[in-house]
Amino acid sequence: MTVIRILLIALGVWLGWYGISLLLDMNPTDLRSVALWFAGGILLHDGVFAPIAATLGVAARRVLPASWWAPVACGTVCTVTLALIAVPVIGRAGALSGNPTILNRDYVLGLSISLAVVWLLVAVALRRVHTTRAKLS
């Protein structure tokens, strides 16, 4: 276990150094842009997404049965993550018409299928919880 930790720490230090070395090669304009996006991401997360997630989590805990909390929370986290990943590409089909290999898929369909699979797995987990509880009682 200690060897794995040491290897992971060494990997993390190397990746950190690699990232810093990439930043040092950038010109000042690009560095300001990176800093603005970095700060904007933190502010957006801490000022908008985290309070909304906390509010929805508290509300869901009051509405849903306790055995549903974990599967529904996992499904919600996956849904939000997939939606955030899909936002930049949805509605931009053919944005670069000179290169047909970019944005050449139906991303709405892909997101829909992904969300359907996630919530199908949530339903399976809820069914399994219900079945396990029925066997125990």
To the question of pTM greater than 0.75 for the whole model, the response is no
pLDDT in tens, 88-112: 888 776 566 677 677 778 889 999 9
**Are 86 and 111 spatial neighbours (Cβ–Cβ below 8 Å)?**
yes
Measured in degrees and rounded to the nearest 5, phi and psi for residue 89 equal -105, -20
Question: Could you give the 3-state DSSP secondary structure of residue 128?
Answer: helix
Of 20-29, 43-52, 103-112, minimum mean pLDDT range: 103-112
**Would you state the structure tokens that stand for residue 19, as one six-digit string?**
């990232």
